[in-house]
């Protein structure tokens, strides 16, 4: 069983920064794509950023040039550096990892971490 666990959320003022981390527990994992999604109250869950095992990235337009996704394959960890935060970035942020189980791929989700941007 694979369980991604997020950390690093909290309350920050507009213009501030936060760094989210997500560790995927499990032995001898082959993790493919890792990513971050978010869901604000009354809204659907949306893509924030994803990164492939080789390091190729993709960002939502709303966060380009402000957020940076990175990963450490040796630690099964993905990061999201969030700068110049805006009130509209307020949401629960979820980590997702895609694991290759040889017989097929499976996506796993964390329970989420709250990010609140407010003065």
Question: What is the three-class DSSP state of 96?
Answer: strand
> What's the pLDDT score for residue 118?
97
pLDDT at site 60: 98
pLDDT, position 41 = 92
In the chain, the N- to C-terminal Cα span, in Å, equals 40
pLDDT in tens, 10-47: 999 999 999 999 999 887 889 999 999 999 999 999 99
pLDDT tens per residue across span 78-95: 999 999 999 999 999 999
CA atoms within 13 A on the CB side of 80: 33
Average pLDDT score, the chain: 96
Can you tell me the mean pLDDT for 65-74?
96
List the one residue out of 31, 32, 22, 69 whose CA is nearest residue 47. Answer: 69
């Amino acid at each position: 069983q694979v369980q991604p666990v997020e950390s690093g959320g909290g309350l920050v003022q507009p213009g501030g920064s936060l760094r989210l981390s997500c560790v995927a527990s499990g032995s001898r994992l082959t993790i493919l794509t890792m990513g971050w999604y978010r869901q604000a109250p009354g809204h659907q869950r949306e893509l924030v950023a994803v990164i492939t095992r080789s390091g190729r990235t993709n960002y939502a337009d709303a966060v380009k040039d402000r957020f940076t996704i990175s990963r450490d394959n040796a630690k099964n960890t993905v990061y999201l550096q969030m700068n110049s935060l805006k009130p509209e970035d307020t949401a629960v942020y979820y980590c997702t990892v895609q694991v290759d189980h040889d017989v097929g791929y499976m996506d796993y989700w964390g329970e989420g971490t709250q990010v609140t941007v407010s003065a």
